[in-house]
Amino acid sequence: MDNIREQLKAVGARYNKSLPHYDACIQLVSAAYRKLEDDADFAAYGRFAGKPAVDYYTFSNNFFTSRPVRPDIYISSYDELIHSIEQLSRSLENRPSRLNNEDIETSNRVVYTAVMSVACCYDLWQRGSRKTPGTFFEFLMAALLQKMLPAAVFSKHISLASLLNDTETGEGVPVDIEALESDEEEGGAASVSTDLVIGMPDRRGGVVIPLKITTRERIVQPFAHQRILNSAFGEAAYQSLLVCISETQLDEKTRSVKQVCVPGTVKLFQKYLAPIGGLYYCDIPQRYFAADMQKIIPVKSVGDFFRDLAKIMELNGQL
């Protein structure tokens, strides 16, 4: 596990310096996947009592049980994983706006397997680091999107300092939404940081990509941020695509899995805060896939996300 922790640190160091970090991500995923193969059991845990029921597995060692994993999405052999990663990488480089159904399924499974293998290693062997799997999700998506959009301008913040015309914040100092909430400290600047922002070179605006492993009460953030961006830059400037994994909770008593969903909340936010462009999941919760939700907000797979984003960038002359 020391090895995996070190590799993750190295990925983060490269990412923070804006150095290419795709290869380092894939090496880390390989190591995590193999560690689970070698040192953990992967077996049925319980089901989500939906229509139809959904089976979940968990990884376990002698001491701990991992978060629930969908065996139908998690890639089941190392060779297939490596092959699928290569396929994804090729299709993102060559035809991201024309991904076919097979490409879409492959990308979805690769992202799921990559993120869940790292997350489950942390569940079993490094339980103190609760936020790390989410951080890795961000690293991985940034790596894949940089492959897909080599000319795009990526950032983590949208400066909103000009909205707050008080002297303290200072013009030009970034005011950033999520840093707003997490990193902004006393006296710090204000901004709207939303995990990943892909800018448009010829105009203000772009695509905001919040990335979350389980949303919980944080589901409100992308809608609130979109609202602020609309107020700040007009409704056409930015659009948000929310990308998520694993909206689940183990119930140890009944050995079952809950898909934790708040469809009414999401509908309210979409209608009364600000509409976002889509809700993308590797493992779409059943309740979110229903027709009443789709009427109000597009709910699709993370495979679809790559194609939708590529199309947006193509429309903006970026691809």
Binding region for its own copies (CB under 8 A)? 50, 160, 163-164, 166-169, 175, 177-178, 180-182, 184-192, 216-221, 223-224, 227-228, 231-232, 258-265, 267-269, 271-273, 285-287, 292, 295
**Beta partners for residue 199, in sequence order:** 153, 206
235-271 burial, b if ≥16 CB within 10 A, otherwise e?
Answer: eeebbbbbbbbbbbebeeeeebbebebbbeebeebbe
Cα separation of 15 and 18, whole Å?
Answer: 5
User: Whole-number minimum distance, CB 313 to its own copies, in Å?
Assistant: 27
Q: Which of 221/240 has CB closer to its own copies?
A: 221
Q: Which of 73/163 has CB closer to its own copies?
A: 163
User: Whole-number minimum distance, CB 267 to its own copies, in Å?
Assistant: 5
User: Whole-number minimum distance, CB 214 to its own copies, in Å?
Assistant: 12
Residue 311 phi/psi, 5° resolution? -65, -40
Q: Which of 83/131 has CB closer to its own copies?
A: 131
Question: Is the bond into 96 cis (omega within 30 degrees of 0)?
Answer: no
User: Whole-number minimum distance, CB 210 to its own copies, in Å?
Assistant: 12
Taking the CA atoms of 178, 181, 185 and 189 in sequence, report the sign of the dihedral they define: positive
Residue 153 phi/psi, 5° resolution? -100, 115
User: Whole-number minimum distance, CB 23 to its own copies, in Å?
Assistant: 32
Q: Which of 96/222 has CB closer to its own copies?
A: 222
User: Whole-number minimum distance, CB 305 to its own copies, in Å?
Assistant: 23
Q: Which of 169/318 has CB closer to its own copies?
A: 169
User: Whole-number minimum distance, CB 103 to its own copies, in Å?
Assistant: 30
User: Whole-number minimum distance, CB 16 to its own copies, in Å?
Assistant: 21
Length of the chain counted residue by residue? 319
Q: Which of 253/295 has CB closer to its own copies?
A: 295
Cα separation of 66 and 294, whole Å?
Answer: 31
Q: Which of 247/308 has CB closer to its own copies?
A: 247
Q: Which of 28/279 has CB closer to its own copies?
A: 279
Extract the tokens encoding 269: 């936010």
